[in-house]
Amino acid sequence: MDFFFRPRGLAIVGATANRKKGGYHILYNVRQGFEGNIYPVNPRYREIDGIPCFASIMDVPDPADMAILFIPAPAVPELALQCARRGIRGVIVESSGFSEVGAEGRSFQDALRRIAAETGLRIWGPNCMGIIDTATRAVFSFVSPSIWEDELVRGGVSLVVQSGMLSGGFLMDAITHGQAGFSKVCSLGNKVDVNECDVLPYLIHDPATEAVGLYLESFADGRRFMKICRQSDKPVVVLKGGKSPEGSRAALSHTASLAGNHGVVRGALDQAGVIEAVDFKEMIDLCVGLTGAAGWKRAREGRIAVVTYTGAGGILSADFMQGTGLSLADLSPPTLEALREIYPPWMPPGNPLDLWPAMERQGPLRALSVALKAVCADPGVDGVLLHAFVGGAVSYVDLEEAAETAYSAGKPLFCWLLGRHSQVQGFKESARQLRIPVYGELSRAVKCMAALFRYKKNRRDSKG
Amino acid sequence: MDFFFRPRGLAIVGATANRKKGGYHILYNVRQGFEGNIYPVNPRYREIDGIPCFASIMDVPDPADMAILFIPAPAVPELALQCARRGIRGVIVESSGFSEVGAEGRSFQDALRRIAAETGLRIWGPNCMGIIDTATRAVFSFVSPSIWEDELVRGGVSLVVQSGMLSGGFLMDAITHGQAGFSKVCSLGNKVDVNECDVLPYLIHDPATEAVGLYLESFADGRRFMKICRQSDKPVVVLKGGKSPEGSRAALSHTASLAGNHGVVRGALDQAGVIEAVDFKEMIDLCVGLTGAAGWKRAREGRIAVVTYTGAGGILSADFMQGTGLSLADLSPPTLEALREIYPPWMPPGNPLDLWPAMERQGPLRALSVALKAVCADPGVDGVLLHAFVGGAVSYVDLEEAAETAYSAGKPLFCWLLGRHSQVQGFKESARQLRIPVYGELSRAVKCMAALFRYKKNRRDSKG
């Protein structure tokens, strides 16, 4: 798979000088970050934007181990064959018009399948959006060049998406909203040859990847997929499309996927230690939660201290924990004693720990500092769910100190955040760097925290 | 209740010149927008920020029909009694230190209850954050004055929150993220006298309110509350705190609420036509969905056309509809014929309607315009779920035209939005003004759309 992610030379078949077309976007995107050789292929041009353009893939010089094909579907099989003859090792077919559109398209896709089987050429796609790698800044995709106007935020989350358009839009949304940092985003499309069983192991072995989220409409080889997941030392999150009869019918016309019975799938995923997401952003949120527990070495129970500025948030936190394996920790007598020192005498501290009276008395920063140290030192506390607010002049949280406190205690710290729009982004960015997962909806924070504890427990159990 | 929302004269007992204190914030906030008479009361000052300050509530001149009390809990009963003697009609007690903190606090709260019963003084709170009214710009609350740095976005959603700190933070988050426009936000606290059965009817009769969301930890009078909801001609959404045993225990120490058995509550809410939310932001999202269907007069079935740029979004939309009462509409032959004109011949249009091939052919604006007109004209389509994306230079949606198309057809248009952070806000703002509900997570969009159809169906059924 490495030649897909880090080719030495890359041909772009269907490159064009028309700036409105995907064939130009691919060339533009590749040039922004990719450091290997770039070979546009299109008989209509001698050069595009100053780069020599080749009439045929056969004319492309060495080194050239990968090609992106962005030409009409009927022409794709012949070009793929030429690539194989030329010694190209893998092609990403980003054109659509294959099995997803009916009988004729299916014949082109069948031809591609035969070519892969007969020549050994690896074929990624068709009907896909290619690869985005934030570490190498390789954008092998027709995604809008406007993606470069924002920083490609690096991080530990890699995605595999069996969809074309979504991956680009989804990624831009997630990156610019500070939802996560990413390693590699892979859009698989119709999976004529390369599928999740090829890409997932590559990502599991990728040092920059800490968790993998997959949106799949079908499993190319369910048994093998489950085995890969079971053996993975990194969390795998799956969002399955086509769970309902109507969704399943729609999947057939999207990526020609047969979705299967989801009850069976769910059981298999669970047994393989896979975390199931129900929606797109939740998939990323779960990945963030599962990678966001720096310093958390030992697996423990899910006894949580909830530190809040709002009683209502404390109550709903407890409600959301029900049935997830998380519970409110019983704070020990020494912890309660340490907390009483910052509270007014009329207010007994408890869990959820409504910190407001202590904040009024001690100032928010000192109250939170004492409270976090106290609950993190408590052997009966396995993790902390902090409710934070940003807005106005007063800072309620010293994130660095909070991360340090949780980190030294080896306890995961999760955060539910409300606040002014203009200040929320900065908080999220700092928290991301400190590996504190942050969520805007409280139920989501609890769900992702529960997923982390359940994942760690499963790993512990499976190791005996 | 009107004297709480629109007093002619307002005393602020516990006003202070110390800008860091809540007693100053209240005065500051009241002065920003309230146009009636303002009377700070504090024996330690002759004036605060140039406004004459009174030593006692008895010295306050007419007209004075409401007072906010922000003084230590032990002093509150005596002051409330003085207010009653002075002819004040209602007080909002924003201090904490009552039933939520134990026996001594409970005695103060009991005293307040007796005073209300014996004198007829209406007492709002204690342990609450008061009232924010975006229409009159009345902020009767110790919420941080930084709330004025953002626009108080007016709109049809009113909230009733049985919590102190949350309401302010929650509101700032919702307003600055463009989640909704608001009419009145009411923080009820411990509900010693004024409760949801007083405030909800007032909001139902408030012309600026179109839907009411309530966060409640207990029902002061469940039977009466359900009756009010059943008779309401505006949607009511309830988020109940303390549904779990642990959450219920936490509610007891928050607002001294006995949460009760939620199975029973759920059945009663359902019978009363109340929509139940599971989380804070979801409560607002549901209110937005329930008020966001301008022009939708006739109640219809929930047959939805999904117009998307991503097949994966179409599939998950279908998955999320399962069991909600919504379903994918069968597009009629004339609709399909109209759609075929914008599609390439190899791509048969269907529902979900993956518009990407048509967008590539016709340009996104024209493709979407034709598609929306076609599905809105279809008698078998009751509503449209549009998947939108903003980012880069290309605009995919002419929101005004889309709203006009849906409005003239009398069909609700909901939107799932992904996009670049900097452009998402503007889209949401325009959509809010056009009454198109917009959601960032697809499952949320489907859930809120389903709530609207179910609500309309219930109303239709209950009218026979």
Q: Dump pLDDT digits (tens) for A50-64.
A: 999 999 999 999 999
Which of A119-123, A172-176, A295-299, B4-8 is least confident? A295-299
CB contact under 8 A, B253 and A311: yes
Q: Which residue has the higher pLDDT, A311 or A326?
A: A326
Residues in B closer than 8 angstroms to A165, CB to CB, are 309-311, 356
CB contact under 8 A, B172 and A419: yes
Distance from CA of A322 to the nearest CA of B (A): 7
Return residue ranges of chain A for CATH 3.40.50.720. 1-127
CATH of region A1-127 = 3.40.50.720
Please determine, for residue A80, whether its predicted confidence score (pLDDT) is greater than 80: yes
pLDDT (tens digit, 9 = 90+) per residue, B228-275?
A: 999 999 999 999 998 888 888 887 766 666 556 778 888 999 999 999
CB contact under 8 A, A418 and B316: no
What per-residue confidence (pLDDT) applies to A434? 92
Name beta bridge partners: A308. A354
CB contact under 8 A, B312 and A162: yes
Q: Any idea which fold B128-291 has?
A: Rossmann fold (3.40.50)
Q: Measure CB to CB from residue A391 to each of B146, B313, B442 and give the nearest one.
A: B146
Q: Measure CB to CB from residue A105 to each of B327, B346, B421 and give the nearest one.
A: B346
What per-residue confidence (pLDDT) applies to B269? 92
**How far apart, in whole angstroms, are the C-alpha atoms of residue A83 and residue A119?**
10
Please determine, for residue A425, whether its predicted confidence score (pLDDT) is greater than 70: yes
Q: Measure CB to CB from residue A319 to each of B242, B311, B354 and give the nearest one.
A: B242
Return residue ranges of chain B for CATH 3.40.50.261. 128-291, 296-462
What per-residue confidence (pLDDT) applies to A162? 86
Residues in A closer than 8 angstroms to B444, CB to CB, are 279
The upper half-sphere exposure of residue B237, i.e. CA atoms within 13 Å in the direction of its Cβ, equals 28
Q: Measure CB to CB from residue B316 to each of A104, A247, A328 and give the nearest one.
A: A247
Q: Which residue has the higher pLDDT, A40 or A392?
A: A40
CB contact under 8 A, A250 and B352: yes
**How far apart, in whole angstroms, are the C-alpha atoms of residue B216 and residue B188?**
9
CB contact under 8 A, B251 and A169: no
Placement of tokens 């800044």 in the chain: A137
Distance from CA of A87 to the nearest CA of B (A): 32
What per-residue confidence (pLDDT) applies to A85? 96
Please determine, for residue A244, whether its predicted confidence score (pLDDT) is greater than 60: yes
What sections of B347-420 are H helices per DSSP? 356-362, 364-377, 399-409
Please determine, for residue A259, whether its predicted confidence score (pLDDT) is greater than 70: no
Helix (H) or strand (E) holding A308: strand A303-308
Residues in B closer than 8 angstroms to A173, CB to CB, are 391, 418-421, 424, 440
Hey, of A76, A149, A315, A397, which one would you mutate to test binding to chain B, going by the most B CBs within 10 A of its CB? Answer: A315
CATH architecture of the domain A296-462 equals 3-Layer(aba) Sandwich (3.40)
Residues in B closer than 8 angstroms to A327, CB to CB, are 246
| B160 close to B124: Cβ distance less than 8 angstroms | no
What per-residue confidence (pLDDT) applies to B151? 78
Chain A / chain B CB contacts < 8 angstroms: 258
Name beta bridge partners: A138. A133
Find the residue in B nearest to A249 (Cα). Answer: B315
What per-residue confidence (pLDDT) applies to B395? 67
Residues in B closer than 8 angstroms to A178, CB to CB, are 421
Q: Measure CB to CB from residue A242 to each of B172, B319, B440 and give the nearest one.
A: B319
Instruction: Report the C-alpha dihedral over residues B336, B342, B345, B350, rounded to 10 degrees.
Output: -40
Cα–Cα nearest to B12, from B44, B35, B39, B52: B39
C-beta atoms surrounding B59 within 10 Å: 14
Distance from CA of A241 to the nearest CA of B (A): 6
C-beta atoms surrounding A1 within 10 Å: 17
Task: Show the low-confidence residues of chain B (pLDDT under 50).
Answer: none
Hey, of B165, B306, B321, which one would you mutate to test binding to chain A, going by the most A CBs within 10 A of its CB? Answer: B165
Residues in B closer than 8 angstroms to A176, CB to CB, are 391, 419-422
Mean pLDDT of chain A: 91
Q: Measure CB to CB from residue B281 to each of A146, A322, A441 and give the nearest one.
A: A441
Compute φ and ψ for A47, nearest 5 degrees: -155, 155
Sign of the alpha-carbon dihedral angle for B189, B195, B200, B205:
negative
Q: Which residue has the higher pLDDT, A5 or B346?
A: A5
Instruction: Report the C-alpha dihedral over residues B362, B365, B371, B373, rounded to 10 degrees.
Output: -130
CB contact under 8 A, A164 and B311: yes
What per-residue confidence (pLDDT) applies to B167? 66
Q: Where do the DSSP E strands lie in B253-315?
A: 275-277, 303-308
Find the residue in B nearest to A278 (Cα). Answer: B443
**How far apart, in whole angstroms, are the C-alpha atoms of residue B22 and residue B13?**
11
Sign of the alpha-carbon dihedral angle for A328, A331, A335, A337:
positive
**Please, what's the b/e burial string for A39-67 (b: 16 or more CB within 10 A of its CB; e: otherwise)?**
bbbbeebeebeeeebbeebeebeeebbbb
Placement of tokens 């910190």 in the chain: A355
CB contact under 8 A, B105 and A166: no
Q: Where do the DSSP E strands lie in A106-226?
A: 122-124, 130-133, 138-140, 154-161, 182-187, 211-216
What per-residue confidence (pLDDT) applies to B289? 94
Residues in A closer than 8 angstroms to B389, CB to CB, are 169
What per-residue confidence (pLDDT) applies to B218? 87
CB contact under 8 A, A346 and B242: no
Tokens of B438: 């917009």
CB contact under 8 A, A346 and B169: no
**Please, what's the b/e burial string for A329-363 (b: 16 or more CB within 10 A of its CB; e: otherwise)?**
bebbeebbebbeebbeebbebbbbbbbbbbbeebe
CB contact under 8 A, A328 and B356: no
Residues in B closer than 8 angstroms to A170, CB to CB, are 418
What per-residue confidence (pLDDT) applies to B254? 64
What per-residue confidence (pLDDT) applies to B100? 80
What per-residue confidence (pLDDT) applies to A23? 95
**How far apart, in whole angstroms, are the C-alpha atoms of residue B28 and residue A422?**
23
Average pLDDT over residues A223-231: 95
Distance from CA of A257 to the nearest CA of B (A): 11
Hey, of B100, B316, B443, which one would you mutate to test binding to chain A, going by the most A CBs within 10 A of its CB? Answer: B316
Q: Measure CB to CB from residue A418 to each of B173, B440, B444 and give the nearest one.
A: B173
What per-residue confidence (pLDDT) applies to B463? 66
Tokens of B124: 């709002």
Residues in B closer than 8 angstroms to A329, CB to CB, are none
Q: How confident is the model at residue A256 (pLDDT cuts 50, 70, 90)?
A: low
Q: Measure CB to CB from residue A254 to each of B170, B281, B312 and give the nearest one.
A: B312
